[in-house]
Amino acid sequence: YQRRVRGIYKRPLYCNMQIPKRDEEELIRQTPEIFIEKEKYELNEALPEDKSAILWAFLASYLPTDEQSIQRFYVQHAEYSLAQTRQDLTHKKRSAYQALAYSVRDRLIERWKDTEIYFNQSDVKRVYYLSLEFLLGRSLQNSMSNLGLTNQYIRGLRNLGVKMEDLYDQEPDAGLGNGGLGRLAACFLDSLATMNYPAWGYGLRYKYGMFYQVMKDGNQVEMPDYWLSFGNAWEIERFDIQFPVYFGGEIQQIQKPDGTAKYVWKHTEEVVAVAYDVPVPGYNTYNALNMRLWSSKPSNEIDFVSFNQGDYIRAVEQKQRAETITSVLYPNDNTTGGKELRVKQQYFFVSATLQDITRRFRHTKKPWSEFPNLVAIQLNDTHPTLGITELMRILVDLEGLSWDDAWGICTKTFCYTNHTVLPEALEKWSVDLFERLLPRHLHIIYEINHRFLELVQEKWPGDIQRMSRLSIIQEDPKMVRMANLAVIGSQFVNGVAEIHSELVKTQVFPDFYELWPHKFKNVTNGVTPRRWIHQSNNQLSDVITRFLKSDNWLTDFDLLKGLREHVHDPKLQKKWETIKQANKAKLAARIEKKLGIIVSQDALFDVHVKRFHEYKRQLLNILGVCWRYRQIKGMSDEEKADVQPRVVIFSGKAAPGYHQAKRIIKLINNVGQVVNNDAEIGDLLKVVFLPNYCVSLAEIIIPASDISQHISTAGTEASGTSNMKFAINGGLILGTLDGANIEIREEIGEKNMFIFGAKADQVEDYRRQIRERNFNPDPRWHDLLNLIEQGVFGNFPDLPLLLNSVRDGNDFYLLSVDFPSYLDAQEKIDAAYKNKKLWNTMSILSTAGMGKFSSDRSIRDYAINIWNLKPFKRPGP
């Protein structure tokens, strides 16, 4: 105990207990005595007050961070938490990783608990960030880096014969997200903690990730992603925090003595939400926040009546049905059962979350009118929108507030972030489904809608069409429009890039904008530089720090502009190029290991990694590759000598029910099979598809890119954040004027990007021309489609369906329109890459201009303009 206490800081005790004033030596001297004397007292007998106080002071001390202490706690976890011997750790890297993770987590928990106590005693307003996805990636490196302990752990473990770098790959990516939505949420939590804002993240603890992607004969095959096979060292299971969540049944109306009606929900199904907490450390601060994830459990583990009757399947049916709710991220909703599970998943999430938030508020003993002064709830897309109706149910049915008072609280509490302009992505669920699963919430939705449409009628008398568009309830078929409910129930609505926010006003919610223009705001997305440079590209981080003479840029990203002063410095240019080549070598090694494909590190690495969707236009990319292949095949040996070698790298998942996206993946793999085995082509062109795209894979791919493609049809991408990750790492962008590309162009200059394609205000006219067969594509377009149709890249049954989607009046995403300018842009890229000095200059200027795109800036915008939230930095020990 003396070793634990001696020479370390004392955590400040944010409590009311009186601690006798003793210096550190007195505390150390008496510590063993406390534990010896404790044995003299019966279990139900209290220690003397001064002894008890010193004991609590002892428990409140921070763990030491010197190398010997790090070694000791690592070994203790190996022996006592995992029951491993030294021999075991030598051969079991996973056990070594777990011991290391537990040791780091101990230090996270110290900061996490003290931060929460500090916030509680400071009576601060908190923001609660509700997201069905948190794409965290791996936590070990990030946690050590944010705690400032990476070097201490490296040295400490090295002296035990453990190479820490060998343990990183033992940690699976957390299966809590899929794409940009979840990665944005993870970046935001990092920034909230780093910037000392009082906040919580809320989500679901999925037993399985979306799926583990493998390739079979070039086709995507979905396998279970059981990322919890060996547990999760970063979570704390909170059996003390559980809430019931109800489904089904009917509503009973009861007449109260004052003549008003009270509604009672007589449910027929109950499940239990159990909390799992994950500490989120800030960088260079003692603040650490909490991400609370809910896991679904049955209210009764087993039906003993059925079990004793021999009906063993029925005996565990309730358990299986309950646990299914949090089994899989985004269950396929192409079936009735899938839709029902999605709605249950969303309601389970918000019900447990709102019960937790309101429980915390009740502890303040303040009136409910103060709720919006202490609570802001951010809805990350429409998935948590049922939280609005759940809070209304709690306030009206359980707390007894009037409808008007409850609605006033709701509309000052919730804020909604829209992430799409695609109509099919705005969630709608059938009224029948709501009647069956959530009858009380449907009743509340009807009441909200009725009162809202009265306001619409007052504003636009007799405008039935407008009322129909604005209504939460869609007619024929009857559906609940979740986005409309989110707008009506929120104080503010924001888009995630300047162009997107304008489209939200003019295309997605024009009538709402006309009714409530003050509600609509923009907060351009950002990414955390701590993970996406400092962790994933540490050599580049070191070089930036050296030339800026400070690492302050990690928390003040605008300081990157200082690199412009050094852009022509030969030393910086040489370092920059050397680091890029080292990262390319690392990626090339991964490609060879996973796929058996050998690629040249001297080739241009052309990267397109995203969730697969038609609007993201991976199809345009692979069609461009096919054209490039055809051109090279027709060249003489002398002409080939002038060709810029290129490695085209794809990665990303298609949703299980999205067959067209799967067809694109199949075509990519077919093309790769032909190109990579053509001896005439050699290293001039390679096509690679890396399966199972995830954060840890992105951390290898992104630093290695020379060019990255962000080529969605103008006006379809809300923002995009992968473009930001590539650009801050010096990867140049090939892109359309869509999403955040527009703002990136403004910051780094169009001469440091490669822009092509139709603009957003031209898209509808081109679509009309295509529909009416008045658009004549470039001749190369027809030649290319005919070439593919002839089977040059192999045939598969759905190939005609894929090709027909971009011809004969069907090209909704304008691939044929943008194809010529896309090829022109690729030629400019080839020419620029051959001039290494020019390319390095563009790459450095790309990084230097990205200061705006830190998630720290995004969070500051939210805090000031939407949440009215102030930072509270906890004093250090």
What CA–CA distance (Å, rounded) separates 616 from 693?
Answer: 16
Angle at 235 between CA 57 and CA 209, to 5 degrees: 170
As a whole number of angstroms, the distance between CA 281 and CA 669 comes to 40
Distances from the Cα of 776 to the Cαs of 404, 696, 755, 773, 855, in angstroms?
A: 58, 44, 22, 8, 43
Q: Are 289 and 201 in contact (CB under 8 A)?
A: yes
Contact between residue 202 and residue 440 where contact means Cβ atoms under 8 Å apart: no
248 contacts: CB under 8 Å, gap ≥ 6: 267, 268, 269, 436, 437, 439
Q: Name every residue whose Cβ is closer than 8 Å to that of residue 461 and which is 6 or more positions away in sequence.
A: none
Omega before 477 within 30 of 0, i.e. cis: yes
Maximum separation of any 2 CA atoms in the chain, in Å: 95
- Tell which residue, 603, 591, 597, 592, has the closest CA to residue 697: 591
- Show contacts of 391-394: CB within 8 Å, 24+ apart: 391/354, 391/358, 392/444, 392/448, 393/265, 393/440, 393/441, 393/444, 394/354, 394/355, 394/358
Indicate the helix (H) or strand (E) that contains 31: helix 24-38
Rounded CA separation 391/96 (Å): 45
- Cα(561)–Cα(779) distance, integer angstroms: 44
Q: Where are the beta strands (DSSP E) in 282-336?
A: 288-298
Q: How far apart are CA 158 and CA 71, in angstroms?
A: 10
**Residues designated catalytic:** 419, 610-611, 616, 721, 725
Residue at 426: amino acid letter: L
Residues 230/178, Cβ–Cβ less than 8 Å? no
Structure tokens at 476: 């024929």
Phi-psi region of 682 (alpha: psi -120 to 50; beta: other; left: phi over 0): left
Which residues lie below 8 Å from residue 457, measured CB to CB, with a gap of 6+?
Answer: 467
Query: Which residue has 């090694």 as its token pair?
Result: 589
Q: Is the sign of the CA dihedral 484, 385, 196, 872 positive or negative? A: positive
Burial of 50 (0-12, 13-18, 19+ CB in 10 A): middle
Cβ-in-10-Å burial (0-12, 13-18, 19+) of 642 comes to exposed
DSSP classification of residue 752: G
- What value, to the nearest 5°, has the Cα angle with vertex 286 and ends 281 and 291? 30
As a whole number of angstroms, the distance between CA 876 and CA 9 comes to 9
Element counts in the chain: helices (H) and strands (E): 37, 22
Element holding 213 (H helix, E strand): strand 212-216
Query: Sign of dihedral through CA atoms 369, 375, 381, 387?
Result: negative
Strands (DSSP E) along 345-469, which ranges?
Answer: 375-380, 414-417, 428-430
Reduced to 3 states (helix: H, G, I; strand: E, B; else coil), residue 140 is helix
Residue 33: CB partners within 8 Å, gap ≥ 6? none
Burial class (CB in 10 A: 0-12, 13-18, 19+), 150: middle
Q: Give the Cα separation of 656 and 335 in Å (integer).
A: 12
